[in-house]
Amino acid sequence: MTAVRQDAWSPDDDLILAEVTLRNIREGSTQLAAFEEVGERIGRTSAACGFRWNSCVRKRYEDAIQISKQQRQKRNYLKKQTVTPTSQVSSLAVFETEERSFKQDVSSLDEGLSVDAVIRFLRGFKTTYQDLSRQIRLFEKEVKDKDEDIYRLRIENERLTREVNSAQTDYRTVNDDYKTLIQIMDRARRLTVLSSEEEVKPRFKMDANGNLERIE
């Protein structure tokens, strides 16, 4: 993991952060991926990039963010060509199908087609478009919430990692001190035993008759 730099952000750093984040929004990627890419380019952690974006840089690019989101919606709209099992994507496919059908009907209008039929079709088309717009807004909110959750979890993970590393260092220090203390106590115990043995050890001398007698 790249270490967090303590120096201030430069204008070039902010510009790189904005460009990469807007590109990821435009291409449908996540902001987390953008923060990781920027972190590798400028030598900062993704968490630091995310904090810088949300606290400072984002405010200066509100209009660009909206434009990027619109471009993303347009890209997604053009990509969807088939109906998928999920209801959300199905609505998008229905919208595209009705749009193509509408263009074909308009191009092949004949005198027998009534104005009322066209109005009914346009109203249904409008309703489908409104439903799709609401679903897109819900998707964007869900993605934003997930990005924020992931960002918070990464911050918490980094904090816990630092605490674990600190605890391991403290444990090794205490363990070394404990071993040293045990060695000192063991050495003192042996010295005490030796001193006691020397104090109680009896001494003898030989008398004139060749007998041993104890010296107190």
pLDDT tens for residues 143-170?
Answer: 888 888 898 888 888 888 888 888 888 7
Given pLDDT bands bounded at 50, 70 and 90, which one contains residue 35? very high
What is the pLDDT, as a whole number, of residue 50? 92
Give, in degrees to the nearest 5, the angle at Cα 49 between 43 and 50: 155
Which tokens is 172 given?
Answer: 């090794």
What is the pLDDT, as a whole number, of residue 144? 85
- Stretch 72-101: mean pLDDT: 61
Q: 87: helix, coil or strand? A: helix
Locus of tokens 């890209």: 75
